[in-house]
Amino acid sequence: MFCTECGAKVNEDNKFCDNCGHQLIKDEANVEAEKEKVKSSRRRYWDKFTEIYTSGDSDWKNKMISDSAWELLNRFSGNLFVSFMEEHPILNKHSHKEIDSIKTEFNTASGAGYYFWLAEQLFNGRDLQPPKPPDTDGLSKEWEKEKVFEDTKTFFANLPDDVSSSMNDFHAWRAKSLLETSPALNDLPNELIEEINNKLAILMLMGYSSGMVEDKYRK
């Protein structure tokens, strides 16, 4: 179940929320109201993400993310794509178009991860100022110091529910689109398709965490 005050997950037996201390009410009517409140929050957060993701206002987007952060995202996706291709030479049997489709998804995932972070901040009412981080190498060192991926599963589990559920929905949509636009990839072993999905999920988390690190350099 979820806390009706802050939306955090709580055990069914809890009388108070572990996150905010709110007293939990268990009767059926309130449980249904609680579920609807959570669904509504997720819909509104998803709407904020899609508003940003599909926005054609490139000037605004460029102000919200620095050149250093964009370069860092490109490094994340580029390095992971190169290593993935080297580990799986079977992919070289596919056409350039199909390989480019995979590469595009790698780039898309890291950028979307950043937009998930940005959407969360705006959804929570923050008045964000343009960041002024160091160069890409400096930002990369700051990111590495955070050690956000010592335990990827824990990092994902600690995301707000609105964010994690929306990431799952976005990931499922993009993974399905990849296989529909490049049907030959359906012939890949299931284990390899699953690994592609895992890489895309990791890249989204990398994008999200880069927003966290870059936020240190906002006024």
Residue 12 is predicted with a pLDDT of 75
Residue 15 is predicted with a pLDDT of 78
Confidence of residue 23 (pLDDT cuts 50, 70, 90): confident
- Alpha carbon separation from 86 to 79, 80, 179, 196 (Å, rounded): 11, 10, 21, 13
pLDDT tens track for 183-219:
988 888 999 999 999 999 999 999 999 999 999 999 7
Residue 50 is predicted with a pLDDT of 95
pLDDT tens track for 117-158:
999 999 999 999 999 999 999 999 999 988 877 888 889 989
Confidence of residue 27 (pLDDT cuts 50, 70, 90): low
| Burial label, 8 (beta-carbon count in 10 A; 0-12, 13-18, 19+) | middle
Inform me whether the pLDDT recorded for 110 exceeds 90.
yes
Residue 31 is predicted with a pLDDT of 66
Residue 207 is predicted with a pLDDT of 96
Confidence of residue 29 (pLDDT cuts 50, 70, 90): low
Residue 17 is predicted with a pLDDT of 83
What are residue 9's DSSP bridge partners?
A: 2
Report, as an integer, the average pLDDT of 162-185.
92
Confidence of residue 10 (pLDDT cuts 50, 70, 90): confident
Residue 114 is predicted with a pLDDT of 97
Give ∠ CA 114-151-135 in degrees, rounded to 5: 40
